[in-house]
Amino acid sequence: MSRAAAVTPVAAASPRRPGLRAATLVVALIGLGIATYLTIVHYTGGAPVCAIAHGCETVQKSKYAEFLGIPVAVLGLVGYVAILASLLRDDETSRTATAFIAIAGLAFSGYLTYLELFTIHAICIWCVGSAICMLLVTVLSVTRLLRAPVH
Amino acid sequence: MTKREMRDERRAARQAAERAELAKSTQRKRLARLGGAFVVAAVAIVIAVVATSSGDPKPVAKAATASTTSVQESNGVLGDPNAKYTVTEYLDFQCPICKEAAASELPTLIKNYVDTGKVKLQARTLHFLGDDSTTAAKFAAGAQAQGKFWPFLETFYANQGEENSGYVTDDFLKDIATNSGVDYDKAKAFAKTSGAQQALDTADSDASAIGADSTPTFTLKRGDGKETVLTVGPTGLIDALNSALSA
């Protein structure tokens, strides 16, 4: 074995991970679907179809349904669109952008979940679904960034 | 191994070492960026949670008593509009003594005098304690336009906050309105009109006319006669009224 082969394990162990990018794309599309549904419900004034009592309606019609005057469903929609846009390219900047947006989205989802549990005292299953999607996107995008090859 | 082969091997080893160093350096940068992002996100969450917790209006309780909700109210006058006597309370929404008087005296006044048609009760909303008083008084004028002044007042008292702490926010008023059957949007719109200001001006001029300079001040008037002060403070209204009416 040559010395050159012995000192290049990092590059050899860092293959591209198209599976991670595809998985991120799928999860982000699911999140986008949820956010789109909640946005439509918000603007049509209806109540979301909800599996747990009337928690969705309680959350959707609470004052916390808007953040700085913007419906949180719209913020989620924008977040998922931004994540999908960042997935269009596969370079260091795009991978970093995906991870950053996902981390910000996860933080916001965490805050909203806190509000549901401790302030509104109602659970919106759609919001929980979106938070889980954002958690998965964060894990996938961070893993993808850390495992990306170095050129 | 020839010299050329040895040179090539050394170059390859050097390049491999450089690539490895680059990879380590890049990974360190990635971890630093991600770590920074997580820290910023965590700090943002903590700030948001603390801000939400401290900014929450305290939970709105129901009115302390429901003494006013079942009585006829017209233009802020509680009871029979044709009642011979008028009791007027000069109050400030922020005044804790007014709240005390509402709990200790008004239920009896309403039960024994207003419900029986002997007395009608009205209020004059002073606002000398501060901006929260003014905001509440103007909104109350909107509640009065809906025939809900007294339920609004009762519910407000039940949730009265720290004087001039800025607690009379839109959210607070919305909660009070919801719990007293007041249409928030209509009352809010009315609060911006000259009608609301006029209610405050009338209270000021009436208070000045009878020399009411503290709250609560209760006055009595027979028909269109002269308005006289019955009592000032949280207690003694019923006794004073009994004496005045039996005289």
Indicate whether A6 belongs to any domain.
no
> What ipTM goes with this model?
0.71
Any idea what the CATH number is for the domain that residue A49 is in?
1.20.1440.130
- Regarding pTM above 0.80, the answer is no
The total domain count for chain A is 1
Question: Are B112 and B121 a contacting pair, CB within 8 Å?
Answer: no
**Tens digits of per-residue pLDDT, A131-141?**
999 999 999 99
Indicate whether A86 belongs to any domain.
yes
Q: Tell me if B34 and A14 make a contact (CB, 8 A cut-off).
A: no
Indicate whether A83 belongs to any domain.
yes
**Tens digits of per-residue pLDDT, B48-100?**
777 766 655 455 555 545 566 667 899 899 999 999 999 999 999 999 889 98
The answer to whether residue A18 neighbours chain B at the CB level (below 8 Å) is: no
Indicate whether A31 belongs to any domain.
yes
3-class secondary structure, A25:
helix
Between A and B, how many CB-CB pairs are < 8 A?
Answer: 67
**Tens digits of per-residue pLDDT, A43-95?**
886 667 775 555 676 677 666 787 877 888 999 999 999 999 999 998 999 99
Q: Which residues pair with B232 in a beta bridge?
A: B217
Residue range(s) defining the domain that contains residue A122 = 17-147
Rg of chain B taking only CA atoms, in angstroms: 33
Residues of A (35-74) whose Cβ lies below 8 Å from B: 63
Residues in chain B with CB shorter than 8 Å from the CB of A10 are 19-20, 23-24
Indicate whether A3 belongs to any domain.
no
Question: Are A20 and A149 a contacting pair, CB within 8 Å?
Answer: no
Which of A99, A111, A142 is the closest to B49 by Cβ? A111
Indicate whether A89 belongs to any domain.
yes
φ, ψ of residue B99 in degrees (nearest 5): -60, -40
Per residue, the 3-state secondary structure of A111-128, as one string, reads HHHHHHHHHHCCCCHHHH
Indicate whether A2 belongs to any domain.
no
